[in-house]
Amino acid sequence: MANINDLFSHNRAWAAEMERTRPGFFTSLTKQQKPKFMWIGCSDSRVPANQITGLEPGEVFVHRNVANVIVHSDLNALSTVQFAVDMLKVEHIMVVGHYGCGGVLAALNNTRVGLADNWIRHIQDVRDRHRGILDNLGPERRGDALVDLNVIEQVVNLCVSTVMTDAWAKGQKVCVHGWAFGVHDGLLQDLHMTVADTDQIEPAYRAAVEGVVAARR
Ligand SMILES: [Zn+2]
């Protein structure tokens, strides 16, 4: 286990190693960031965007919150997306959930955790919307299914935002994806909730929800 002073020594060692193997790496970063990818994930410490995807500093623009939720009025998330889409011109935005997510499990089981209950209420809305699917699964499968369904619903929330609607109306090439990460095996799953234009939201949503049901039959 690291203690707080280790972080500085780790940092100095990392910076030195980067500069040794890639001379000029940091100097080139100061010029600009031009990431192709945006990651919207859970704050969970076990799901670090760069390490999972092998991306370096400068390659992925990141927004994280509890249980990777995109709320219509969340100016924090939407401002981050707007900057990524309008200024950085990212080409892919991934909404990434993870199995064993504490926020999703709290929503599923009505666990009270405090202020965050109000945030998690958004995931309970997802749970209630898909009650029919979840009730038909064994209790051991419901958590993973709700992780997937939450990703799918949050992709929709992102896709109907003014930022995405306006970008697509202008013909901008930017694609939104729904993925889930396995903390138990380190692997990403594509939930095939992939949307590259407003008119793709509805068919992608229906197919992805059916995919969740089929995967857990
Ligand atoms: Zn989580």
Q: With pLDDT > 90 as the criterion, what percentage of the chain qualifies?
A: 97
Helix (H, G, I), strand (E, B) or coil at 178: strand
> Is residue 217 predicted with pLDDT exceeding 90?
no
For residue 33, the model assigns a pLDDT of 81
Rg (CA), the chain: 19
DSSP state of 184: T
Q: What six digits make up the tokens of 199?
A: 């008119």
DSSP state of 85: I
Distance CA 146, CA 152 (A): 10
Classify the phi-psi angles of 170: left when phi > 0, otherwise alpha if psi is within -120 to 50, otherwise beta. Answer: alpha
Ligand 1 center to residue 58 CA distance, Å? Answer: 24
| Residue reference for tokens 């992780």 | 147
Mean pLDDT of 125-130: 98
Looking only at the bridges linking them, the beta strands covering 92-98 and 175-181 are parallel
Across the chain, mean pLDDT equals 96
Ligand 1 center to residue 107 CA distance, Å? Answer: 11
**What amino acid is encoded at 195 in this protein?**
V
Ligand 1 center to residue 140 CA distance, Å? Answer: 17
Mean pLDDT of 141-151: 98
For residue 119, the model assigns a pLDDT of 97
Mean pLDDT of 136-140: 95
> Is residue 2 predicted with pLDDT exceeding 90?
no
> Is residue 176 predicted with pLDDT exceeding 90?
yes
Instruction: Kindly report the pTM of this predicted structure.
Output: 0.96
Ligand 1 center to residue 62 CA distance, Å? Answer: 15
For residue 38, the model assigns a pLDDT of 98
Measure CA 72 to chain center. Answer: 16
The answer to whether 55 and 41 are in contact (CB under 8 A) is no
> Is residue 204 predicted with pLDDT exceeding 90?
yes
Residue 40 CA: distances (Å) to CA of 19, 47, 90, 96, 185: 29, 11, 13, 6, 20
Residue 27 CA: distances (Å) to CA of 32, 34, 59, 88: 10, 14, 15, 19
> Is residue 142 predicted with pLDDT exceeding 90?
yes
> Is residue 216 predicted with pLDDT exceeding 90?
no
> Is residue 31 predicted with pLDDT exceeding 90?
no
Active site residues: 42, 44, 46, 98, 101
Give the pLDDT confidence of 51-71 residue by residue, as tens digits.
999 999 999 999 999 999 999
